[in-house]
Structure 1
Amino acid sequence: MTVVGSCVAIGPSTAGAVDSGDPAEKPNAAPPLGAFLGSGAEGVARIAKFEKWLGSPVKVGHTYLPGENWAGIEGPSEIIGPWARWRAKDRSHLLVVNVPMIASNEVTLPDGVVSSLLRGGASGAFDNHFQRLAERLVKAGAPDTVIIPGWEMNGITYTSRCHPDPVMWKIYWRRIVATMRSVTGARFRFDFNATRGRDAIPWTECYPGDDVVDIIGSDSYDQPQGMSFAEFIKEPYGLQAQADFAAARKKPISFPEWGLFHNSDNPDYIQGMHKWMTSHDVAYQTLTDYCPHGVWQCAANPQASRTYRSLFGGLLNGVSKAVPDLSCPPTVPTPPPTPTPTVPSQAPMAAPSPSPGAPVPTEAPSPSPPAPVPAQAPSPPSALPSPATPPAPVAPTPTASDPAAAMSTAASAAAAVACGALKAAEAAVRTAGVSATAEPAVTAMPGTSPAPVVRPSDGE
């Protein structure tokens, strides 16, 4: 522990920690961190500003190939080029690319049409497009890219979905992997990336086989409204199911997309994800950073933003530096010493001069975090839930005949004042840091996106 002023600052805060429900979990170093900041050169350019705001290195670059046509799925140079150059600057950088399996990927097509397209892919009709993509990535210097074909396949958002024909979908996935691995120099890894929960079909029914999957991913947003993080863990096909499924196959997990959503500005969700990711074998994680999901480019989530910075910020060599917890401990007065009765001796002796007994210091217990207050659904859309305010500790009033208690109470009151000043200063620094380094807020509500960025889904 480190003493800051008159308050005790404890290392990385565990306030609001969420019980994972997994007794076998073991703490790990923080997994490689990233954020979706844009699909092309604009996303690469924002990384340095995001790193400065967060105080942690961004090791994962995440982008999406456009799915409007097959030319987009083959990897346009304006997307592949900037990200491959970012990857080449540092051998520790990891590039993750979401790849649609069918063009056009974001139009509403009947299940019968999707089934027909899946049969075509399973028969090899689209192999040439994935071969070109692999060749372009290798040539650009990104032969070890993590590829996510047909993400969120268990839902209904994309044409590349699984439920119209799971058998054909799995065969098609296997062809894509075989085609891309066949390119000389390729060292790709493939992430099987579903949405958390059951959705339209259990994601386990779409799993194509251990030999063609390297990572088990989950897009895990803070939804539906009113659902707790503990429920995210325990729900069918939820976080625990993902972790167990991967562990049984000796594969790491990932969170290619995660962020806030229907529970608004919810710091408890950020705390839950941090604890879960740092206690499991996570290959990488990337936050979706635009409204309503984000914490840097979205000004609508100030509480979650502060929590994200305190938990994920200040990483040095993958280990979290101490982030002071400036919660003031309750005032605990030191009781006066209990007098010891004196037994008179046979011969009278002069009484010694009295010296004040130094009270033995006692360490005040760390305060228990207040019970989390669920985020309320905003009544106008712009309204944000108010943070819970713990009641101020009340110190007992000393009596004139109790000088030791009076001294202890005065010291505790001074500590409370000093701690309050520290908290106010910290809040001012955090506010200044956000306003000084963050870009203007980018708003992309579900179903829309800031042009011309190719966006991830909202995990619906």
Structure 2
Amino acid sequence: MPGRGRWMAGFCIAAAVAGLPAGGCAHAPAPHGAASAGGSGTGTAIGAYLHYGSPGVDRMRELSRWLGGTELRAGHTYLPGDTWANIEGAPDSLLSWARWRKERSDRLFVLNVPMLEGNEAGVPDERVAELLRAGAQGRYDQHFRRLAERLVGLGLPDTVIVLGWEMNGYDYTHRCRPDPENWKRYWRRIVDAMRSVEGGRFRFDFAPDRGPDAIPWTACYPGDDVVDVMGMDSYDQPPGDTFDEQVTQPYGLQQQVDFAKAHGKRISYPEWGLFRHGDNPEYMRRMLAWIAEHKPLYHSITDYCPHGVWQCSENPRSAQVFREFLAPERDSRRTAPRPRP
């Protein structure tokens, strides 16, 4: 996914286009591979990333109306990776997400959690390796215990934690390539720290980038006992010029499905959407069909330009496909509102 600086910039562009406010441009773990999508819900929870803060909650309702009443059961946001205080769950917007989650028992709250502060600070590999080694030795355990305590205190004990996402890439400080073995040890320490907090039932989602990247994502997999969901971030971009290539390429969509099955995990798509190929209704149609066929725990389209379909007016053909695929009734789609141009 675009990093936090990039996704905030992208959101502000989308908000300007749409006329929307930018908003400040018990110890036992959940069963591994559990079938519930959140609370008592089953099946695939539909979601969208609409804004990192409280405005994202309101836009969930607006997007649902645009889809003719389709229930969006997956609420998705990110913790900023700039400071340890924010990684510990300091943003006030978590209160709004907690209220949203508790309105319905079948909802799922998905939270991307960075593993290191300064997560987009351009830290060199040598320093990343040092930080990963320190994490593997337990130096940062307290930050993740505090996060777990905060989530439990807010009534979000069953949050899906997308920890250290896109770890197989080149950009984030929490990347795996500089020291894969200590990266895996560090992941395990974080999971153990969060599971040690009484009342937590967190599920941990391992979500690499699709395809070959800086390192094969299989080299970063930390173990079945500390992973609950096998995710993947997948945008319409190389590697993979066609959807078929995105499926069949090494470390692509098919390998994700096969790996998850072999390890007894459900899959997810925390981030997906359009990108390098512009308004591509064929990609949108194929990705939605793939999701329908493989039944992930949840999926969350990144809905701002250039990736999205509701807050972005640049992709009208893809927006039509998305809406027709997910809206329950055609009559309701004719009159449903969308963001103002």
Q: Which amino acid aligns with 2:52?
A: S
State the alpha-carbon separation in 2 of the partners of residues 79 and 121 from structure 1.
27
Flag structure 1 segments of 5+ consecutive residues without an equivalent. 1-28, 315-320, 324-425, 442-460
Counterpart amino acid of residue 46 in structure 1: R
Q: Is the 8 A contact 1:73 1:100 kept in 2?
A: yes
Q: What corresponds to 1:438 in structure 2?
A: 338
Deviation string 1:259-294 (CA, Å, 9 cap, x unpaired) is 000010001111111111111141100000000000
Counterparts of 1:78-157 in structure 2, within 5 Å, are 78-157=92-171
So what's the TM-score if we normalise by structure 1?
0.63
Name the SS of the counterpart of 1:211 in structure 2.
Answer: helix
**Which SS does the other structure have where 1:282 is aligned?**
coil
Offset, 1:198: 1.2
Greater gyration radius: 1
- Aligned letter for 1:72? N
Which residue identity is paired with 1:69? T
What amino acid sits opposite 1:220 in the alignment?
S
Contact 2:43 2:297 in 1 (8 A): no
Does the 8 Å CA contact 1:226/1:263 hold for their aligned counterparts? Answer: no
In structure 2, what is the equivalent of residue 50 of structure 1?
63
Which residue does 1:217 correspond to in 2?
231
- Contact 1:154–1:203 under 8 Å retained in 2: yes
- Relative distance call for 1:146 and 1:226 in structure 2 (3 A) is closer
Shift of 1:440: 3.9
- Greater relative contact order, per chain length (Cα 8 Å cut-off, separation 6+): 2
Matched AA of 2:318: A
Which aligned pairs between 1:174-323 and structure 2 lie closer than 5 A? 174-224=188-238, 227-314=241-328
Letter in 2 for 1:39: Y
Amino acid at match of 2:311: Q
Among the aligned pairs, what percent are the same residue? 54
For 2:338, give the aligned amino acid: A
Residue 224 of structure 1, CA deviation: 2.1
- AA in 2 matched with 1:303: R
Q: Is 1:170 equivalent to 2:184 in the alignment?
A: yes
Give the letter for the 1:136 counterpart.
R
Per-residue deviation, 1:437: 1.7
Structure 1: distance between partners of 2:340 and 2:311: 6
Picking from 44, 54, 67, the partner of 1:31 is: 44
In 1, the alpha carbon distance for the partners of 2:295 and 2:186 equals 28
- CA offset at residue 30 of structure 1? 6.4
Preserved contact between residue 62 and residue 337 of structure 2 (Cα < 8 Å): yes
Distance in 1 separating the partners of 2:123 and 2:155: 36
Structure 2 residue matching 1:232: 3-state secondary structure: helix
Q: Structure 2 stretches of 5 or more lacking a match? A: 1-41
Partner SS state of residue 171, structure 2: coil
Q: Shift in Å at residue 225 of structure 1?
A: 8.2
Give the CA deviation at 1:226: 7.4
Structure 2 CA distance for aligned equivalents of residues 212 and 156 of structure 1: 24
Distance 1:30 1:209 in 2: 25
Number of residue pairs matched by the alignment = 299
TM-score by length of 2: 0.85
Amino acid at match of 1:269: Y
Deviations 1:157-178 (A, max 9, x none): 2111000000010000000000
Conserved 8 A contact 1:225-1:262 = no
Q: Which has the higher helix share?
A: 2
For residue 204 of structure 2, give the secondary structure of its aligned residue in structure 1: strand
Residues 166 and 207 of structure 2 are in contact (CA less than 8 Å); yes or no, is this contact kept in structure 1?
yes
**CA root-mean-square deviation:** 1.6
Task: For residues 189-244 of structure 1, give each alpha carbon's deviation from its aligned partner in whole angstroms, at most 9, with x where no partner exists.
Answer: 00000000011100000000000000000000001287111111100000000000
